[in-house]
Chain A
Protein backbone atom coordinates (compact mmCIF):
# COMPACT_ATOMS: atom_id res chain seq x y z
CA UNK A 1 0.00 0.00 0.00
CA UNK A 2 2.90 2.26 0.81
CA UNK A 3 4.25 1.44 -2.63
CA UNK A 4 0.86 2.20 -4.13
CA UNK A 5 0.98 5.60 -2.49
CA UNK A 6 4.53 6.18 -3.60
CA UNK A 7 3.55 5.14 -7.12
CA UNK A 8 0.99 7.94 -7.16
CA UNK A 9 3.45 10.44 -5.76
CA UNK A 10 3.87 13.63 -7.70
CA UNK A 11 7.14 14.43 -9.44
CA UNK A 12 9.91 15.97 -7.29
CA UNK A 13 9.32 19.41 -8.73
CA UNK A 14 5.78 19.47 -7.35
CA UNK A 15 6.84 18.60 -3.83
CA UNK A 16 5.93 22.09 -2.64
CA UNK A 17 2.23 21.65 -3.48
CA UNK A 18 1.37 19.13 -0.77
CA UNK A 19 -1.02 21.42 1.03
CA UNK A 20 -4.45 20.76 2.41
CA UNK A 21 -7.50 22.98 2.95
CA UNK A 22 -9.01 20.66 5.59
CA UNK A 23 -7.10 21.82 8.68
CA UNK A 24 -8.34 25.34 7.88
CA UNK A 25 -11.92 24.05 7.56
CA UNK A 26 -11.58 22.30 10.94
CA UNK A 27 -10.22 25.50 12.49
CA UNK A 28 -13.31 27.33 11.15
CA UNK A 29 -15.49 24.56 12.61
CA UNK A 30 -13.85 25.12 16.01
CA UNK A 31 -14.35 28.87 15.77
CA UNK A 32 -18.05 28.62 14.86
CA UNK A 33 -18.72 25.74 17.26
CA UNK A 34 -17.00 27.03 20.39
CA UNK A 35 -17.98 30.64 19.62
CA UNK A 36 -21.59 29.51 19.41
CA UNK A 37 -21.33 27.51 22.63
CA UNK A 38 -19.76 30.44 24.49
CA UNK A 39 -22.46 32.86 23.33
CA UNK A 40 -25.25 30.24 23.27
CA UNK A 41 -25.92 31.19 19.65
CA UNK A 42 -27.09 27.78 18.42
CA UNK A 43 -27.07 28.43 14.63
CA UNK A 44 -23.31 29.04 14.97
CA UNK A 45 -22.94 25.72 16.82
CA UNK A 46 -24.87 24.01 14.00
CA UNK A 47 -22.60 25.57 11.34
CA UNK A 48 -19.58 24.48 13.40
CA UNK A 49 -20.93 20.91 13.57
CA UNK A 50 -21.52 20.76 9.81
CA UNK A 51 -18.04 22.16 9.10
CA UNK A 52 -16.58 19.60 11.52
CA UNK A 53 -18.19 16.71 9.62
CA UNK A 54 -17.18 18.15 6.23
CA UNK A 55 -13.63 18.83 7.48
CA UNK A 56 -13.09 15.36 8.93
CA UNK A 57 -14.65 13.71 5.87
CA UNK A 58 -12.54 15.75 3.48
CA UNK A 59 -9.35 15.12 5.41
CA UNK A 60 -9.93 11.37 5.65
CA UNK A 61 -10.86 11.22 1.96
CA UNK A 62 -7.71 13.13 1.00
CA UNK A 63 -5.63 10.83 3.19
CA UNK A 64 -7.23 7.71 1.70
CA UNK A 65 -7.11 8.72 -1.94
CA UNK A 66 -4.52 11.49 -1.94
CA UNK A 67 -0.83 11.07 -2.52
CA UNK A 68 0.79 13.72 -0.40
CA UNK A 69 0.97 11.89 2.93
CA UNK A 70 3.46 9.27 1.80
CA UNK A 71 5.97 11.96 0.88
CA UNK A 72 8.05 13.28 3.77
CA UNK A 73 8.63 17.02 3.57
CA UNK A 74 11.11 18.99 5.60
CA UNK A 75 11.42 22.66 6.46
CA UNK A 76 14.10 24.26 4.31
CA UNK A 77 14.54 27.54 6.19
CA UNK A 78 16.28 28.18 9.49
CA UNK A 79 15.83 27.71 12.40
CA UNK A 80 13.86 24.53 11.72
CA UNK A 81 15.73 23.43 8.58
CA UNK A 82 15.73 19.66 8.15
CA UNK A 83 12.80 19.04 10.50
CA UNK A 84 9.70 17.34 9.15
CA UNK A 85 6.96 19.89 8.40
CA UNK A 86 4.22 17.67 9.81
CA UNK A 87 6.20 16.85 12.94
CA UNK A 88 6.89 20.54 13.53
CA UNK A 89 3.18 21.23 13.01
CA UNK A 90 2.25 18.62 15.62
CA UNK A 91 4.74 20.08 18.11
CA UNK A 92 3.27 23.56 17.61
CA UNK A 93 -0.19 22.07 18.19
CA UNK A 94 1.11 20.33 21.33
CA UNK A 95 2.39 23.69 22.59
CA UNK A 96 -1.06 25.22 22.06
CA UNK A 97 -2.52 22.29 24.02
CA UNK A 98 -0.05 22.94 26.86
CA UNK A 99 -1.38 26.51 27.02
CA UNK A 100 -4.96 25.21 27.03
CA UNK A 101 -4.46 22.72 29.84
CA UNK A 102 -2.31 25.15 31.84
CA UNK A 103 -5.20 27.62 31.77
CA UNK A 104 -7.64 24.87 32.76
CA UNK A 105 -5.49 23.64 35.67
CA UNK A 106 -4.82 27.21 36.79
CA UNK A 107 -8.57 27.90 36.84
CA UNK A 108 -9.01 24.77 38.98
CA UNK A 109 -6.29 25.94 41.38
CA UNK A 110 -7.86 29.41 41.56
CA UNK A 111 -11.16 27.76 42.58
CA UNK A 112 -9.35 25.56 45.12
CA UNK A 113 -7.70 28.43 46.99
CA UNK A 114 -11.07 30.16 47.38
CA UNK A 115 -12.63 27.41 49.52
CA UNK A 116 -11.62 25.91 52.88
CA UNK A 117 -10.52 22.31 53.46
CA UNK A 118 -13.48 20.05 54.31
CA UNK A 119 -13.83 19.28 58.04
CA UNK A 120 -13.36 15.59 58.84
CA UNK A 121 -16.11 13.56 60.44
CA UNK A 122 -18.77 16.26 60.20
CA UNK A 123 -20.83 17.65 57.32
CA UNK A 124 -19.52 20.90 55.86
CA UNK A 125 -21.90 23.84 55.92
CA UNK A 126 -20.31 25.67 52.99
CA UNK A 127 -18.22 24.89 49.91
CA UNK A 128 -15.04 23.01 50.81
CA UNK A 129 -12.25 20.92 49.28
CA UNK A 130 -12.02 17.28 50.46
CA UNK A 131 -8.69 15.91 51.68
CA UNK A 132 -7.23 12.93 49.75
CA UNK A 133 -6.83 9.96 52.05
CA UNK A 134 -9.70 11.00 54.33
CA UNK A 135 -12.88 8.91 54.65
CA UNK A 136 -14.86 11.77 53.07
CA UNK A 137 -12.73 11.93 49.90
CA UNK A 138 -15.15 11.07 47.05
CA UNK A 139 -12.63 9.95 44.39
CA UNK A 140 -11.35 6.38 44.07
CA UNK A 141 -7.55 6.70 44.30
CA UNK A 142 -6.59 2.98 43.90
CA UNK A 143 -8.81 2.54 40.82
CA UNK A 144 -7.47 5.71 39.22
CA UNK A 145 -3.89 4.71 40.06
CA UNK A 146 -4.50 1.52 38.05
CA UNK A 147 -6.01 3.66 35.29
CA UNK A 148 -2.93 5.90 35.39
CA UNK A 149 -0.73 2.86 34.92
CA UNK A 150 -2.91 1.79 31.98
CA UNK A 151 -2.36 5.16 30.29
CA UNK A 152 1.39 5.06 30.99
CA UNK A 153 1.49 1.54 29.52
CA UNK A 154 -0.34 2.81 26.43
CA UNK A 155 2.42 5.40 25.95
CA UNK A 156 4.94 2.55 26.08
CA UNK A 157 3.06 0.50 23.46
CA UNK A 158 2.69 3.62 21.29
CA UNK A 159 6.44 4.28 21.43
CA UNK A 160 7.04 0.65 20.47
CA UNK A 161 4.55 0.99 17.60
CA UNK A 162 6.41 4.04 16.24
CA UNK A 163 9.72 2.19 16.54
CA UNK A 164 8.26 -0.88 14.80
CA UNK A 165 6.97 1.28 11.94
CA UNK A 166 10.39 2.95 11.55
CA UNK A 167 12.03 -0.49 11.34
CA UNK A 168 9.35 -1.81 8.97
CA UNK A 169 8.24 -4.56 11.38
CA UNK A 170 4.64 -4.91 10.23
CA UNK A 171 3.63 -7.61 12.70
CA UNK A 172 4.93 -5.71 15.74
CA UNK A 173 3.37 -2.50 14.46
CA UNK A 174 -0.11 -4.06 14.27
CA UNK A 175 0.20 -5.65 17.72
CA UNK A 176 1.44 -2.49 19.46
CA UNK A 177 -1.11 -0.26 17.74
CA UNK A 178 -3.94 -2.63 18.72
CA UNK A 179 -2.62 -2.74 22.31
CA UNK A 180 -2.47 1.07 22.48
CA UNK A 181 -6.03 1.34 21.19
CA UNK A 182 -7.25 -1.26 23.70
CA UNK A 183 -5.46 0.41 26.65
CA UNK A 184 -6.83 3.83 25.64
CA UNK A 185 -10.37 2.41 25.43
CA UNK A 186 -9.97 0.78 28.86
CA UNK A 187 -8.79 4.11 30.32
CA UNK A 188 -11.87 5.93 29.01
CA UNK A 189 -14.12 3.02 30.06
CA UNK A 190 -12.84 3.17 33.65
CA UNK A 191 -13.26 6.95 33.68
CA UNK A 192 -16.86 6.64 32.48
CA UNK A 193 -17.47 3.99 35.16
CA UNK A 194 -16.03 6.33 37.82
CA UNK A 195 -18.17 9.24 36.57
CA UNK A 196 -21.30 7.07 36.85
CA UNK A 197 -20.43 6.07 40.40
CA UNK A 198 -19.64 9.66 41.42
CA UNK A 199 -22.89 10.95 39.91
CA UNK A 200 -24.77 8.31 41.92
CA UNK A 201 -22.98 9.64 45.02
CA UNK A 202 -24.08 13.20 44.14
CA UNK A 203 -20.73 14.56 43.03
CA UNK A 204 -21.85 16.56 40.02
CA UNK A 205 -20.24 19.25 37.83
CA UNK A 206 -22.94 21.67 39.01
CA UNK A 207 -24.20 22.52 42.51
CA UNK A 208 -26.80 20.08 43.85
CA UNK A 209 -28.95 20.20 46.97
CA UNK A 210 -27.68 16.89 48.42
CA UNK A 211 -23.94 17.80 48.49
CA UNK A 212 -23.76 21.60 48.07
CA UNK A 213 -20.38 21.56 49.84
CA UNK A 214 -18.74 19.67 46.96
CA UNK A 215 -20.05 21.91 44.14
CA UNK A 216 -16.73 23.75 43.63
CA UNK A 217 -14.70 20.54 43.83
CA UNK A 218 -17.08 18.80 41.41
CA UNK A 219 -16.85 21.62 38.86
CA UNK A 220 -13.03 21.61 38.94
CA UNK A 221 -12.86 17.81 38.82
CA UNK A 222 -15.25 17.26 35.91
CA UNK A 223 -14.00 20.18 33.79
CA UNK A 224 -10.35 19.12 34.02
CA UNK A 225 -10.77 15.35 33.77
CA UNK A 226 -13.60 15.77 31.22
CA UNK A 227 -11.51 17.83 28.81
CA UNK A 228 -8.67 15.35 29.25
CA UNK A 229 -11.06 12.44 28.60
CA UNK A 230 -12.30 14.18 25.45
CA UNK A 231 -8.70 14.46 24.26
CA UNK A 232 -8.12 10.77 24.98
CA UNK A 233 -11.28 9.94 23.02
CA UNK A 234 -9.96 12.00 20.08
CA UNK A 235 -6.70 10.07 20.32
CA UNK A 236 -8.63 6.79 20.27
CA UNK A 237 -10.27 7.84 16.98
CA UNK A 238 -6.80 8.57 15.56
CA UNK A 239 -5.54 5.21 16.83
CA UNK A 240 -8.52 3.42 15.27
CA UNK A 241 -7.60 5.01 11.96
CA UNK A 242 -3.92 4.02 12.35
CA UNK A 243 -4.97 0.44 13.17
CA UNK A 244 -7.12 0.25 10.04
CA UNK A 245 -4.36 1.68 7.84
CA UNK A 246 -1.69 -0.56 9.40
CA UNK A 247 -3.80 -3.62 8.57
CA UNK A 248 -3.70 -2.49 4.95
CA UNK A 249 0.10 -2.25 5.13
CA UNK A 250 0.10 1.52 4.79
CA UNK A 251 3.05 2.16 7.11
CA UNK A 252 6.61 1.01 6.76
CA UNK A 253 10.25 2.10 6.80
CA UNK A 254 9.63 4.77 4.16
CA UNK A 255 6.27 5.91 5.51
CA UNK A 256 6.17 5.88 9.29
CA UNK A 257 5.48 9.55 9.92
CA UNK A 258 1.70 9.14 10.34
CA UNK A 259 2.26 6.74 13.24
CA UNK A 260 4.87 9.04 14.79
CA UNK A 261 2.62 12.12 14.64
CA UNK A 262 -0.43 10.42 16.17
CA UNK A 263 2.01 8.99 18.73
CA UNK A 264 3.15 12.49 19.72
CA UNK A 265 -0.47 13.47 20.37
CA UNK A 266 -1.06 10.30 22.38
CA UNK A 267 1.97 11.00 24.58
CA UNK A 268 0.66 14.54 25.11
CA UNK A 269 -2.56 13.21 26.71
CA UNK A 270 -0.35 10.98 28.87
CA UNK A 271 1.76 13.96 29.99
CA UNK A 272 -1.36 15.99 30.81
CA UNK A 273 -2.69 13.12 32.94
CA UNK A 274 0.68 12.84 34.73
CA UNK A 275 -0.08 16.33 36.13
CA UNK A 276 -3.87 16.02 36.49
CA UNK A 277 -3.74 12.81 38.54
CA UNK A 278 -1.78 14.21 41.52
CA UNK A 279 -3.48 17.61 41.29
CA UNK A 280 -7.04 16.20 41.47
CA UNK A 281 -6.55 12.92 43.33
CA UNK A 282 -3.54 13.32 45.63
CA UNK A 283 -3.25 16.98 46.62
CA UNK A 284 -5.74 18.52 49.00
CA UNK A 285 -6.38 22.10 50.00
Chain B
Protein backbone atom coordinates (compact mmCIF):
# COMPACT_ATOMS: atom_id res chain seq x y z
CA UNK B 1 0.00 0.00 0.00
CA UNK B 2 2.93 2.26 0.80
CA UNK B 3 4.04 1.72 -2.77
CA UNK B 4 0.74 2.96 -4.13
CA UNK B 5 0.88 6.08 -1.94
CA UNK B 6 4.38 6.93 -3.16
CA UNK B 7 3.33 6.35 -6.76
CA UNK B 8 0.38 8.69 -6.26
CA UNK B 9 2.73 11.32 -4.85
CA UNK B 10 4.91 10.85 -7.93
CA UNK B 11 1.97 11.51 -10.23
CA UNK B 12 1.16 14.68 -8.28
CA UNK B 13 4.75 15.84 -8.73
CA UNK B 14 4.45 15.26 -12.47
CA UNK B 15 1.18 17.17 -12.60
CA UNK B 16 2.83 20.16 -10.92
CA UNK B 17 5.54 20.33 -13.55
CA UNK B 18 3.43 20.82 -16.63
CA UNK B 19 5.68 23.57 -17.96
CA UNK B 20 9.06 22.09 -18.74
CA UNK B 21 11.59 24.04 -20.82
CA UNK B 22 12.00 21.40 -23.53
CA UNK B 23 11.90 23.84 -26.46
CA UNK B 24 14.32 26.27 -24.79
CA UNK B 25 16.76 23.41 -24.11
CA UNK B 26 16.57 22.28 -27.75
CA UNK B 27 17.22 25.85 -28.94
CA UNK B 28 20.21 26.11 -26.59
CA UNK B 29 21.63 22.76 -27.78
CA UNK B 30 21.19 23.76 -31.42
CA UNK B 31 22.85 27.18 -30.99
CA UNK B 32 25.82 25.71 -29.11
CA UNK B 33 26.20 23.04 -31.83
CA UNK B 34 26.25 25.74 -34.54
CA UNK B 35 29.01 27.55 -32.62
CA UNK B 36 30.95 24.29 -32.14
CA UNK B 37 30.91 23.53 -35.87
CA UNK B 38 32.60 26.88 -36.62
CA UNK B 39 35.58 26.11 -34.39
CA UNK B 40 37.80 24.18 -36.89
CA UNK B 41 37.48 26.98 -39.48
CA UNK B 42 37.63 29.90 -37.03
CA UNK B 43 40.45 28.24 -35.14
CA UNK B 44 42.64 28.42 -38.24
CA UNK B 45 41.42 31.85 -39.38
CA UNK B 46 41.83 33.52 -35.98
CA UNK B 47 44.84 31.49 -34.87
CA UNK B 48 43.12 30.06 -31.80
CA UNK B 49 45.55 27.66 -30.06
CA UNK B 50 44.67 24.00 -30.59
CA UNK B 51 44.58 23.28 -26.84
CA UNK B 52 42.12 26.13 -26.33
CA UNK B 53 39.89 24.74 -29.09
CA UNK B 54 39.89 21.35 -27.32
CA UNK B 55 39.02 22.90 -23.95
CA UNK B 56 36.19 24.90 -25.55
CA UNK B 57 34.72 21.95 -27.47
CA UNK B 58 34.90 19.52 -24.53
CA UNK B 59 33.50 22.23 -22.26
CA UNK B 60 30.50 22.87 -24.51
CA UNK B 61 29.96 19.10 -24.87
CA UNK B 62 29.86 18.75 -21.06
CA UNK B 63 27.37 21.65 -20.78
CA UNK B 64 25.15 20.13 -23.50
CA UNK B 65 25.27 16.68 -21.85
CA UNK B 66 24.35 18.16 -18.46
CA UNK B 67 21.41 20.02 -20.05
CA UNK B 68 20.11 16.78 -21.62
CA UNK B 69 20.57 14.88 -18.35
CA UNK B 70 18.90 17.56 -16.22
CA UNK B 71 15.91 18.35 -18.41
CA UNK B 72 15.32 15.57 -20.97
CA UNK B 73 16.36 12.77 -18.60
CA UNK B 74 14.51 14.57 -15.79
CA UNK B 75 17.39 14.38 -13.32
CA UNK B 76 16.48 17.88 -12.14
CA UNK B 77 13.14 16.54 -10.94
CA UNK B 78 14.47 13.31 -9.42
CA UNK B 79 15.42 12.63 -5.76
CA UNK B 80 18.96 13.69 -4.79
CA UNK B 81 20.29 10.12 -4.59
CA UNK B 82 19.31 9.49 -8.22
CA UNK B 83 20.89 12.81 -9.24
CA UNK B 84 24.15 11.75 -7.57
CA UNK B 85 24.16 8.24 -9.06
CA UNK B 86 25.35 9.22 -12.60
CA UNK B 87 28.11 11.37 -11.05
CA UNK B 88 29.80 8.19 -9.74
CA UNK B 89 31.35 7.04 -13.04
CA UNK B 90 32.52 10.60 -13.77
CA UNK B 91 35.23 10.09 -11.12
CA UNK B 92 36.56 7.19 -13.16
CA UNK B 93 36.24 9.20 -16.39
CA UNK B 94 38.38 11.93 -14.78
CA UNK B 95 40.89 9.29 -13.68
CA UNK B 96 41.09 7.90 -17.20
CA UNK B 97 41.68 11.38 -18.64
CA UNK B 98 44.51 11.96 -16.15
CA UNK B 99 46.12 8.63 -17.09
CA UNK B 100 45.79 9.48 -20.80
CA UNK B 101 47.30 12.94 -20.32
CA UNK B 102 50.23 11.40 -18.42
CA UNK B 103 50.62 8.90 -21.29
Contact = CB atoms under 8 A, between A and B. Distances in A.
Contacts of A91: 82, 85-86
A188 to B, nearest CB: 19
A282 B96 contact: no
A145 B97 CA distance: 26
Interface in A18-61: none
Contacts of A264: 73
Interface of B: 1-3, 6-7, 11, 14-15, 18, 20, 22-23, 25-26, 29-30, 33-34, 36-37, 39-41, 43-44, 50, 53-54, 57-58, 60-61, 64-65, 68-69, 71-74, 78-79, 81-82, 85-86, 88-89, 92-93, 96-97, 100, 103
Nearest to B82: A83
Contacts of B23: 156
A14 to B, nearest CB: 13
Interface stretch (A189-197, A205-213, A224-232, A270-278): A270-278
Contacts of A155: 26, 68, 72
Contacts of B71: 159
B96 A102 contact: yes
A224 B26 CA distance: 25
B64 A274 contact: yes
Contact of B33 (A73, A98, A110, A148): A148
Contacts of B43: 133
Given A95-B85, A159-B22, A278 B57 contact: yes
Given A133-B44, A267-B69, A282 B36 contact: yes
Interface stretch (A74-82, A214-222, A234-242, A243-251): A74-82
Given A253-B11, A274-B64, A274-B68, A145 B33 contact: yes
B54 A283 contact: yes
A266 B2 CA distance: 31
B72 A98 contact: no
Nearest to A253: B11
A113 B103 contact: yes
B37 A141 contact: yes
Contacts of B7: 72, 74
A152 interface: yes
Nearest to B84: A79
Contacts of A271: 65, 68-69
Nearest to B28: A152
Given A98-B89, A141-B40, A274 B53 contact: no
A197 B89 CA distance: 36
7 contacts: A95-B85, A95-B88, A102-B92, A106-B96, A267-B69, A271-B69, A275-B58
A138 interface: no
B93 A153 contact: no
Nearest to A260: B74
Smallest CB-CB A-B distances: 7 pairs: A133-B40, A132-B40, A278-B57, A156-B26, A159-B72, A145-B37, A98-B89
A64 interface: no
A155 B72 CA distance: 7
Contact of B57 (A106, A253, A283): A283
A153 B14 CA distance: 23
Contacts of B20: 159, 163
A278 B54 CA distance: 9
Contact of B26 (A110, A152, A260): A152
A142 interface: yes
